[in-house]
Chain A
Amino acid sequence: AQSVTQPDIHITVSEGASLELRCNYSYGATPYLFWYVQSPGQGLQLLLKYFSGDTLVQGIKGFEAEFKRSQSSFNLRKPSVHWSDAAEYFCAVAPPNTGNQFYFGTGTSLTVIP
């Protein structure tokens, strides 16, 4: 079955530590890939996207993500986390030829401790 998996429901990191949030997908062809962040009471903000080309993509707020076709993964990383990064993070995929329909993972909640 087609799916988007974010295996970590909740992650806690110390401020200044590195971060990696996992995302795996299960689709026949490589979909378009996105990471969004949602702060409490807010809508979703696009962090970065992958359509094709260089598998390491840079986004806003110092985030980056790497697409690995062999692992069907698109993990989000940040070298040094700031307290303001505490939020909910969603991976989304748009399979090709579906009219840009997004399928979201269940999200990873990030807590940053001082």
Chain B
Amino acid sequence: EAGVAQSPRYKIIEKRQSVAFWCNPISGHATLYWYQQILGQGPKLLIQFQNNGVVDDSQLPKDRFSAERLKGVDSTLKIQPAKLEDSAVYLCASSLGLEQYFGPGTRLTVT
């Protein structure tokens, strides 16, 4: 069974630029999550989708972050414009039940 796929694995941008991350969950997993993991901290949930609907986006900085999950399968997370404090690893996870399965993450560096 293929795991959660994410791309790109690494991205370096300058502040005020935009960036997009892509995630393809495990086949059949209805729930998809995006987490932000700042160095030295645990992952923090940004947004949770159930199929193509948003379950929770209370911690998503909506002035600069957006996410979509068209057709209830893969998802994109966008940051526009990026700030220095957005430097982090962005993890995507998916679940069918109570267990979440994580992708390898995208490491974003904002200079």
Contact = CB atoms under 8 A, between A and B. Distances in A.
Contacts, number: 55
Which of A4, A45, A102, A105 has the most chain B CB atoms inside 10 A of its CB? A102
A106 B98 contact: no
B99 interface: yes
Question: Which of the four size classes fits the interface of chain B?
Answer: 20 to 34
Q: Chain B interface secondary structure, helix, strand, loop or mixed? A: strand
Nearest to A107: B42
A105 B98 CA distance: 18
Contact of A44 (B48, B56, B91): B91
Interface residues of A, number: 24
Interface string B81-107: 000000000010101001111111101
Interface of B: 4, 31, 33, 40-45, 48, 50, 55-56, 91, 93, 95, 98-105, 107
